[in-house]
């Protein structure tokens, strides 16, 4: 049975969808077009097969997203050219009579790592994490623009904005006050931090395990700010009561070739402290849905991982785990 069209809810490829995408370059070579409903982004997504056998992923967004989508596509191009295993970029332009923007990339077979994690033992998780860390290191080898504002100045503004929200909305608590004190006491960790390009959302949900057992990365659609301290991206990997500890341990070890410096953990704990404060203020940031209770829960998780910010090495990192 044909898939349901995600544009008009008809089965198969309906006339309305044909009108929507027919001005895409080389549309006349599309032999198969199937809508994809999986994923959290607001993009329209399609699996495409061409008459010459190419398998592609087509993403369509509203024209208001043009600048952001163009930046994401260009970042994917740079990563692909740098040897990162990610879908090959083919085309980017307008469609739907100029009302939408599209990107065409190669199709990668595999399953997302987050789905596979519960079916892996600790060693398998760790091995995949090692590969993911090596991929992230390769992404971070791309330097930030020469005009980049110093990271310390940029991140201090982020921290202060959250502290202001904390006070403005009367979110005071013993845990919150502890976090803010830690952020003030340790802000010198931000000084002289380097900047590189980022993936932007480097977590297990955006890692694909290929049939060959390699880690591919996709969904650069959360690419925000574009660049910054490369160690900041590690804050995105762990969320929830019990993160996949062996996978994240492997990711850190893979990134640092099995020798993470103590300075990394000190900076990591600072960024997680800011993340805890961001979670507490999530409802008021206007970035994504969340409740104060969700924020308090994540903050308490972070305080537990770092022993109330007394230990910069998180509890989910297994320092002595090896193969």
Q: What is the pLDDT of residues 75-112, one digit of tens each?
A: 899 999 999 999 999 999 999 999 999 999 999 999 98
With H, G, I as helix, E, B as strand and everything else as coil, classify residue 29.
helix
- Starting at the edge strand that comes first in sequence, how are the strands of the sheet with 55-62 ordered? 30-36, 44-50, 55-62, 100-106, 89-95
Kindly tell me the sign of the dihedral angle through the C-alpha atoms of 198, 203, 206, 211: positive
Neighbours of 263 (CB within 10 A): 11
Which pLDDT score, from 0 to 100, does residue 323 have?
60
Neighbours of 72 (CB within 10 A): 23
Task: State the pTM of this model.
Answer: 0.87
Residues 49, 78, 134: CA angle, nearest 5 degrees: 95
Q: What are phi and psi of 231, to 5 degrees?
A: -70, -20
Please name which of 39, 34, 41, 42 lies closest in space to residue 17, comparing C-alpha atoms.
34
Q: Which tens digits make up the pLDDT trace of 168-190?
A: 989 889 999 999 999 999 999 99
Residue ranges, CATH 3.30.200.20, the chain = 15-106
Which pLDDT score, from 0 to 100, does residue 287 have?
55
CA dist 58 and 92 (Å) reads: 10
The listed CATH number (3.90.1200.10, 3.40.50.300, 3.40.50.10490, 4.10.320.10) that belongs to domain 111-305: 3.90.1200.10
Q: Judge whether residue 205 has pLDDT over 70.
A: yes
Q: How do beta strands 227-228 and 55-62 pair? A: unpaired
Q: Identify the H or E element spanning 178.
A: helix 174-185
Q: What are phi and psi of 40, to 5 degrees?
A: -105, -10
Highest mean pLDDT among 198-202, 224-228, 259-263: 259-263
Neighbours of 268 (CB within 10 A): 22
Q: Which tens digits make up the pLDDT trace of 265-279?
A: 999 999 999 999 998
Residues 22, 66, 203: CA angle, nearest 5 degrees: 105
- What tokens were used for 244? 């996949």
Q: Judge whether residue 7 has pLDDT over 60.
A: no
Residue ranges, CATH 3.90.1200.10, the chain = 111-305
Helix axes 151-168, 174-185, angle to 10 degrees: 160
- What tokens were used for 211? 């049939």
Q: How do beta strands 196-197 and 227-228 pair? A: antiparallel
Average the pLDDT over 228-253 and give the result.
85
Q: Judge whether residue 12 has pLDDT over 80.
A: no
- What tokens were used for 138? 């390769």
CA dist 191 and 189 (Å) reads: 6
Q: Which tens digits make up the pLDDT trace of 216-227?
A: 998 776 555 578
Residues 6+ apart with CB under 8 A from 146: none
Domain spanning 15-106, CATH class: alpha beta
């Amino acid at each position: 049975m044909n898939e349901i069209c995600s544009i008009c809810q008809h089965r198969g490829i309906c006339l309305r969808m044909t009108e929507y995408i027919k001005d895409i370059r080389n549309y006349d070579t599309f032999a198969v077009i199937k809508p994809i409903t999986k994923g959290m982004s607001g993009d329209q997504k399609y699996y495409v097969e061409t008459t010459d056998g190419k398998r592609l992923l087509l993403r369509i967004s509203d024209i208001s997203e043009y600048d952001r989508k163009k930046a994401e596509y260009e970042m994917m191009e740079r990563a692909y050219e740098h040897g990162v295993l990610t879908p090959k970029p083919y085309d980017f332009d307008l469609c739907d009579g100029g009302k939408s923007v599209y990107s065409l990339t190669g199709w990668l077979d595999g399953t997302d790592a987050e789905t596979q994690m519960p079916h892996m033992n600790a060693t398998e998780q760790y091995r995949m994490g090692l590969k993911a860390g090596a991929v992230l290191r390769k992404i971070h080898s791309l330097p930030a623009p020469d005009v980049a504002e110093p990271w310390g100045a940029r991140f201090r503004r982020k921290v202060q904005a959250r502290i202001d929200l904390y006070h403005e909305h009367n979110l005071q608590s013993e845990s919150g006050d502890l976090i803010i004190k830690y952020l003030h006491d340790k802000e010198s960790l931000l000084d002289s931090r380097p900047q590189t390009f980022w993936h932007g959302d480097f977590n297990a949900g955006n890692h694909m395990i290929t049939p060959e057992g390699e880690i591919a990365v996709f969904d650069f659609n959360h690419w925000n700010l574009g660049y910054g301290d490369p160690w900041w991206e590690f804050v995105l990997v762990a969320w929830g009561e019990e993160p996949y500890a062996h996978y994240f341990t492997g990711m850190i070890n893979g990134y640092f070739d099995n020798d993470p410096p103590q300075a990394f953990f000190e900076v990591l704990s600072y960024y997680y402290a800011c993340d805890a404060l961001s979670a507490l203020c999530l409802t008021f940031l206007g970035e994504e849905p969340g409740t104060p209770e969700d924020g308090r829960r994540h903050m308490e998780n972070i305080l537990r991982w770092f022993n109330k910010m007394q230990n910069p090495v998180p509890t989910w990192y297994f320092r002595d785990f090896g193969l």
